Amino acid sequence: MTEIWTQAALWLGLALLATLVSIYLRVATALSEIVVGTIAQLIIGAALGAAVLQGDASWIRFLSGAGAILLTFLAGAELDPQVFRRQWKQATAIGLVSFAVPFLGCAALARWGLGWEAPASWLAGIAMSTTSVAVVYAVMLELEINTTEFGKVVLAACFVTDLATVVALGLIFAPFTLKTVSFVAALTLAALLLPWITPRFFRRFGGRPSELEAKFLMLCLFGLGAIATWADSEAVLPAYLIGMVLAGTVGKDHALIRRLRTLTFGLLTPFYFIRAGSLVSLPELAAAPAAFLLLLLVKMLSKFVGVYPVCQLYGSPHREGMYTTLLMSTGLTFGTISALFGLSHGLIDQGQYSALVAAVIGSAVIPTLIANAFFLPRHLLQRGDKEEAKGEVGETPAAGSGASQRDDVRRDAAQRR
């Protein structure tokens, strides 16, 4: 156990360092954790050996996966059903275009520009077409844009893009089997039953220090994640859907959401983002940087060509349209998952995998830095504070909530401003 506790201290030390860097540079913590993970793997690997961080250790992979699942669930829970019903055409149009144009553009680049084989080219198109719900939600939450209608539409569009990515990966490379049917049936049943069961179960047994609500939600998320991986899908996909269907109940319990955020951002997501950064091999990229740079450039250009005109079509101002376009250009979870799928199934080699993962992680950092530096819609920041305050006034207190917790929320918001 000494080795595990030492590794845990090392990873949390890197997480603390990343947080201090994010505060000093005024960037999102998720981005600094990715960069710190990349640099740490290089420096620690050169000084003490590549196995010191042990990013592939089972317990680190579990914490990383749990962080991705809970973060994706929280993003889904932020989606206001009324906003989605009102703006579903815009969210769907942005999401589908955000997938289709980069998919075709990056696949063409890989096939005719980089000389990859056809299966590797299609896989590159899928990996580079993704949008990272985790990065977008983490950035919006830190800026408090997630509570605005603008933020909720962008998060809905992210889900549409990643859903199209999963469907494309399954149709092109994964066989449609009885397991797939079973997974879809289980997910449909959960989506129908949980909105009815959850509020009644919480009213009957919740409101206690034992945090029954969090245990119930994690049971549902991990159970559906197990069914998803058994069916050759991804555990984060049902997490977002369950978050969406419970947005009208769990999403309105601000005390519960605050406790889940503490668990997710305090412990789990640092392992997820730092591990994502550690997957990048800087020496391999330095030896052959062309593929990485071209894939990243084509992804960002194709996202701009596809997403920005749609935003203008729906009347978005220039600044909001550019901010949406750049956030939709991010990638992380499904991009790295797609690349790893290709490597494990022999569709791409190690060099192609490094180029894809580096481009995916680069797309998590560069577009977000540009968006927050030049196109941040600052008028939405105060609006997000006001809408969050409205939610706090109208919230129904749960276990452990009260005047003191509401004061903490308001004090935290004032400090951030």
pLDDT tens for 123-150 read: 999 999 989 887 888 888 888 887 788 8
Q: Is 49 a domain residue?
A: no
User: How confident is the prediction for the chain on average, in pLDDT?
Assistant: 83
Residues 6+ apart with CB under 8 A from 146: 78, 137, 140, 152, 155, 384
Task: Tell me which residue of 319, 331, 320 sits closest to 367, measured CA to CA.
Answer: 331
Number of domains in the chain: 1
CATH of the domain at 411: 1.20.1530.20
Lowest mean per-residue pLDDT among 13-17, 96-100, 197-201, 252-256: 252-256
pLDDT mean over 15-32: 86
Tens digit of pLDDT for each residue in 325-351? 999 999 887 787 788 778 767 888 878
Per-residue pLDDT band for 174 (boundaries 50, 70, 90) equals: low
Cα torsion through 172, 239, 304, 375, rounded to 10: -170
Q: State how far the Cα of 79 lies from the Cα of 98, in Å rounded to an integer.
A: 19
Domain of residue 171 covers 67-416
Query: Can you give the pLDDT at residue 398?
Result: 38
Please return the burial class of 188, using the count of CB atoms within 10 Å of its CB with bins 0-12, 13-18 and 19+: exposed
Question: What pLDDT is stored for residue 72 in this prediction?
Answer: 83
Q: How far is CA 300 from CA 34, 35, 46, 102, 396, in A?
A: 19, 19, 32, 8, 43
Q: Is pLDDT larger for residue 108 or for residue 176?
A: 108
Query: Does residue 60 form part of some domain?
Result: no
Do residues 140 and 340 lie in contact, with contact meaning Cβ atoms separated by under 8 Å? Answer: no
CA separation for the pair 123, 120 (Å, rounded): 5
Provide mean pLDDT across the span 102-114.
94
Report yes or no: 258 and 409 within 8 Å, Cβ to Cβ.
yes
Distance, CA of 182 to CA of 312 (rounded, Å)? 40
Whether 296 has a pLDDT exceeding 90, the answer reads yes
User: Nearest-CA neighbor of 80 among 251, 203, 313?
Assistant: 251
pLDDT reported for residue 87:
84
pTM score above 0.95: no
Question: Which pLDDT belongs to residue 51?
Answer: 67
Instruction: Say which range, 27-31, 57-61, 290-294, 394-398, has the weakest mean pLDDT.
Output: 394-398
Check if the beta carbon of residue 364 is closer than 8 Å to that of residue 280: no
Residues 73 and 221: beta-carbon distance below 8 Å: yes
Per the domain annotation, does 29 fall within a domain? Answer: no
SS3 266: helix
Number of alpha carbons in the 13 Å side-chain half-sphere of residue 350: 4
Q: How far is CA 306 from the centre of its chain?
A: 21
Highest mean pLDDT among 16-25, 273-282, 295-304: 295-304
Q: Answer for the pair 404, 392: CB distance below 8 angstroms, yes or no.
A: no
Integer Cα distance of 54 and 47 in angstroms: 14
For residue 50, what pLDDT band results from cuts at 50, 70 and 90? low
Q: What is the mean pLDDT of residues 108-130?
A: 93
Domain assignment present for 327: yes
Highest average pLDDT, of 34-48, 70-84, 300-314, comes from: 300-314
How do residues 345-379 score in pLDDT, each as one tens digit?
788 887 888 889 889 888 988 999 899 889 988 88
Can you point out the beta strands (E) in 241-395? Answer: none
Rounded to whole angstroms, the Cα distance separating 196 from 246 reads 9
For the chain, the straight-line distance linking the first and the last C-alpha, in angstroms and rounded, comes to 42
Residue 280 lies in a domain: yes
**DSSP state for residue 208 in the 8-state scheme:** S
**Residue in 252, 269, 187 with CA at minimum distance from that of residue 220:** 187
Higher pLDDT, 107 or 390: 107
- Choose between 169 and 49: higher pLDDT: 169
Structural Rg of the chain based on CA atoms? 21
Q: Long-range CB contacts (< 8 A, 24+ apart) of 115-120?
A: 116/348, 116/352, 119/173, 119/342, 119/347, 120/342, 120/347, 120/348, 120/352
Does residue 56 fall inside a structural domain?
no
In a domain? residue 233: yes
pLDDT at 395: 43
Report if residue 100 sits inside a domain: yes
Dihedral, 17, 20, 22, 24 alpha carbons, nearest 10: -140
Residues 391, 145, 65: CA angle, nearest 5 degrees: 95
CB atoms near residue 260 (< 10 Å): 22
